Chains A and B, each alone.
Chain A
Amino acid sequence: MPDRISAGDAAHVAVLARLALTADELERYTGQLAGVLEHFADIDALDLDGVEPMTQPYPLTNVLREDVVGDCLDRDEVLAQAPAAEAGRFRVPVILGDEG
Chain B
Amino acid sequence: MSDTIVEGWELVVGLEVHTELATETKIFCSCPNRFGDEPNTNVCPVCLGLPGSLPVLNRQVVELAIRLGEAVHCDVRPSIFHRKNYFYPDMPKDYQVSQYDQPINVGGHLELPSGYRVGITRAHLEEDTGKSTHLGGDAGGRIHGSEYSLVDYNRAGVPLLEIVSEPDIRTVEQARDYVGELRAILVATGVSDAKMEEGSMRVDANVSVRRTGDTAFGTRCEIKNLNSVRSLGRAIEYEARRQIDLLEAGERVRQETRHWDEGDGRTHTLRTKEDADDYRYFPEPDLVPLAPTDQWLASARASLPALPAQRRAILAEASDRGVADPGVVSAVDRGLDQLAMEAIVAGGDPARVLVHIEHNLSGDGATVRPVRLAALTRMEVEGKLTATQAKAVLADVLAAGGDADPVAIAAAKGFEAMDTGALETAVDAAIAADPVAWDKFLGGDDKVAGAFVGPVMKATKGKADGKAVNALLRARRDATR
The answer to whether A and B touch in the complex, with CB atoms under 8 Å apart, is yes
Q: How far is the CB of A66 from chain B (nearest CB, A)?
A: 6
B43 touching A78, Cβ below 8 Å: yes
Interface of chain A: mostly helix, strand, loop or mixed? loop
Q: Find residues 53-73 in chain B having any chain A CB closer than 8 Å to their own CB.
A: 56-62
Contacts of A68 in B (CB 8 A): 24-25, 30
The 9 tightest CB contacts between A and B, nearest first, are A70-B30, A98-B270, A67-B60, A89-B150, A64-B59, A60-B288, A88-B39, A55-B283, A90-B151
Given contacts A15-B275, A90-B150, contact A63 B57 (CB under 8 A): yes
Contacts of A69 in B (CB 8 A): 24-25, 30-32
Q: How far is the CB of A81 from chain B (nearest CB, A)?
A: 9
B146 touching A94, Cβ below 8 Å: yes
Contacts of A97 in B (CB 8 A): 271, 273
Given contacts A55-B283, A67-B58, A97-B273, contact A91 B23 (CB under 8 A): no
| Interface residue from B44, B56, B61, B132 paired with A63 (Cβ < 8 Å) | B56
Q: Mark A72-88, 1 if CB is under 8 A from B, else 0.
A: 11010011000000111
A-to-B contact residues, CB < 8 Å: 12, 15-16, 18, 55-56, 60-73, 75, 78-79, 86-100
| Interface residue from B29, B31, B152, B274 paired with A15 (Cβ < 8 Å) | B274
Contacts of B62 in A (CB 8 A): 64
**How far is A95 from B146 in the complex, measured between Cα atoms in Å?**
8
| Interface residue from A65, A75, A100 paired with B59 (Cβ < 8 Å) | A65
**How far is A87 from B151 in the complex, measured between Cα atoms in Å?**
10
A72 touching B41, Cβ below 8 Å: yes
**How far is A60 from B56 in the complex, measured between Cα atoms in Å?**
13
Contacts of A56 in B (CB 8 A): 285, 288
A61 touching B290, Cβ below 8 Å: yes
B87 touching A88, Cβ below 8 Å: no
| Interface residue from A72, A86, A94, A100 paired with B91 (Cβ < 8 Å) | A100
Q: Mark B65-107, 1 if CB is under 8 A from A, else 0.
A: 0000000000000001000001111110000000000000000
A75 touching B288, Cβ below 8 Å: no
Chain A residue nearest to B89 in the complex (CB)? A92
Q: Count of B residues near A, CB < 8 Å?
A: 63
Contacts of A92 in B (CB 8 A): 89, 132, 148-151
B339 part of interface (Cβ distance < 8 Å): no
Q: How far is the CB of B294 from chain A (nearest CB, A)?
A: 13
Given contacts A61-B289, A93-B148, contact A88 B38 (CB under 8 A): yes
B171 part of interface (Cβ distance < 8 Å): no
| Interface residue from B24, B133, B148, B259 paired with A94 (Cβ < 8 Å) | B148
| Interface residue from B44, B59, B283 paired with A71 (Cβ < 8 Å) | B44
Chain A residue nearest to B24 in the complex (CB)? A67
B-to-A contact residues, CB < 8 Å: 23-25, 29-32, 38-45, 48, 56-62, 80, 86-91, 129, 132-134, 143, 146-153, 224, 257, 259, 270-275, 278, 280, 282-283, 285, 287-292
Q: How far is the CB of A80 from chain B (nearest CB, A)?
A: 12
Q: How far is the CB of A65 from chain B (nearest CB, A)?
A: 5
Q: How far is the CB of A18 from chain B (nearest CB, A)?
A: 5
Contacts of A93 in B (CB 8 A): 148-149
| Interface residue from B87, B151, B153, B283 paired with A18 (Cβ < 8 Å) | B87
12 contacts between A and B (CB under 8 A): A16-B278, A18-B87, A56-B285, A65-B56, A65-B57, A70-B30, A73-B48, A75-B41, A89-B133, A89-B152, A94-B146, A98-B259
B48 touching A78, Cβ below 8 Å: yes
**How far is A100 from B204 in the complex, measured between Cα atoms in Å?**
13
Q: How far is the CB of A76 from chain B (nearest CB, A)?
A: 10
Contacts of B289 in A (CB 8 A): 61-62
Q: How far is the CB of A25 from chain B (nearest CB, A)?
A: 19
B148 touching A91, Cβ below 8 Å: yes
| Interface residue from A16, A72, A96 paired with B42 (Cβ < 8 Å) | A72
**How far is A32 from B459 in the complex, measured between Cα atoms in Å?**
102
Contacts of B25 in A (CB 8 A): 67-70
B149 touching A16, Cβ below 8 Å: no
Chain B residue nearest to A66 in the complex (CB)? B59
Contacts of B32 in A (CB 8 A): 69, 72
**How far is A56 from B57 in the complex, measured between Cα atoms in Å?**
17
16 new A-B pairs (CB below 8 Å) besides A95-B132, A98-B257? A16-B275, A62-B289, A63-B56, A75-B39, A78-B48, A87-B150, A88-B38, A91-B150, A92-B89, A92-B148, A92-B149, A92-B151, A94-B146, A94-B147, A98-B270, A100-B91
